[in-house]
Amino acid sequence: MPEEILFSSKEFKQLLGVSDCELMHMRVSGKLKYVKKGNSFLYKLDDKNLLLKHPLASQLIGWYQEKHHISIDNSPKAVESINSTLDLIETILLPVSKKFGEVKITYGFVSPELNRYIQKKSSSDTYPSIDQHAASELNQANKQICKRHGLACDFIVNGYEKHMDQVMLFIVNNLDFDKIYYYGNDRPLHVSVGNESERHLQVMNVSDKGRRIPGRKAYGNEAKVLAEELIL
């Protein structure tokens, strides 16, 4: 099992929306769970919903603004989508950021409105019915956009732009994921969480025509073996 995530005072103030003084009074009064390391206090998350205020949540929802010049409310609406957002942050993104550093999300949550825009304007290499970016949201026909549920994002770690194989290996060996699409050590990593938690590692290759095509794949402990073989 991965280690429990602990938050610095700066991080926890942001999640709670309080000042230094308020944080101190909450800690002294016993309202917060924490551990002390040296002169620092590290806080334990008691309410998972606070993660919706984390910068990673803002990235998951607002990632599209750098790529698409539109203004929409891209936040998840379905309860299951919100829960998947929390799971992705807690289970994958926070442990990765604690281990390697700043995470930059290149493709995150896709609302029904954003999905319609992308499919109309730039649908190449997108597969909304299976890629889990739409989580559990419904289309205009009131049907699931993605039949797999869960939630996926593509991300890169600052400083590891040429070493995403190391990030992939860490996730496979230590975290509870559903699917990983591995495009190469110098490409963003696609990772999802889901009800099945298949621990499915899928290598993605490029065809002669430049299209992404599936390559080797493995599940569970076999995924760990494949991940080791992919390290450059």
Share of the chain above pLDDT 90, in %: 88
66 in Cβ contact with 104 (< 8 Å)? no
What tens digit of pLDDT does each residue of 18-34 get?
999 999 999 999 999 99
What is the pLDDT confidence band of residue 217, given thresholds at 50, 70 and 90? very high
Tally the residues of the chain.
232
The pLDDT value given to residue 33: 94
What is the pLDDT confidence band of residue 2, given thresholds at 50, 70 and 90? low
Q: Which pTM value belongs to this model?
A: 0.93
Q: For the chain, what are the domain ranges?
A: 1-46, 51-230
C-alpha 127/C-alpha 65 separation (Å) is 20
How wide is the angle at C-alpha 160 spanned by C-alphas 228 and 88, nearest 5°?
A: 75
The pLDDT value given to residue 139: 95
74 in Cβ contact with 61 (< 8 Å)? yes
Nearest Cα to 94, choosing from 131, 46, 132, 45? 45
Average per-residue pLDDT for the chain: 94
C-alpha 33/C-alpha 43 separation (Å) is 6
**In a 3-state reduction of DSSP, which class is residue 203?**
strand
What tens digit of pLDDT does each residue of 24-65 get?
999 999 999 999 999 999 999 999 999 999 999 999 999 999
What tens digit of pLDDT does each residue of 108-158 get?
999 999 999 999 988 788 899 999 999 999 999 999 999 999 999 999 999
What tens digit of pLDDT does each residue of 57-98 get?
999 999 999 988 899 999 999 999 999 999 999 999 999 999
